Structure 1
């Protein structure tokens, strides 16, 4: 089973939202949606969507939003 680890750092305490999107911009799954302290974190994604189904290999994007910042990064999921 494919597993990828997403590492991120937040500069200030606050709400963090990390969402995976497919190449069409459709939400695949929300991995993080809660308050976190400032610091470095990692979260694992096993290629399962919000409905419990394995997604296809391909390009995905993860969107990280905090109180003061947001960023988007691209990743490749291979089976």
Structure 2
């Protein structure tokens, strides 16, 4: 995702909550900008999938290192949201990426402590 300083971020997130929303009228893949953004220490990420399948949603630091897997499971068609707790991470820019079927998308989020 880019070249920056060589600092290392080691972290363990404490909590990930996943909830199912309405699955009516989901016809395309989508991932929303997290909110709030910037955030401290938690933020919510919403996504939608138009068909059943394996979904992965991961968070990376700015150096491209994976810091947390938020979702890695089979999901049915619908809308979902994930609460990401970054309490043990350093302030900075992070990227979250979703993959499902042939769909792949990523967005940036900023943790400010």
TM-score (norm. length: structure 2):
0.62
Query: How many angstroms apart in 2 are the aligned matches of 1:62 and 1:39?
Result: 19
Structure 1 consecutive aligned stretches of length 4 or more whose deviation exceeds 3 Å: none
- Aligned pairs for 1:1-79 within 5 A: 2-47=41-86, 54-79=88-113
Structure 1 unpaired stretches of 5+: 49-53
Aligned residue pairs, count: 74
State the SS of the aligned residue for 1:59.
strand
Higher strand share: 1
Query: How many angstroms apart in 2 are the aligned matches of 1:11 and 1:58?
Result: 32
Coordinate RMSD, CA, aligned? 1.1
TM-score (norm. length: structure 1):
0.88
1:25-56 deviation per Cα after TM superposition (whole angstroms, max 9, x unaligned): 000010100000111100011105xxxxx110
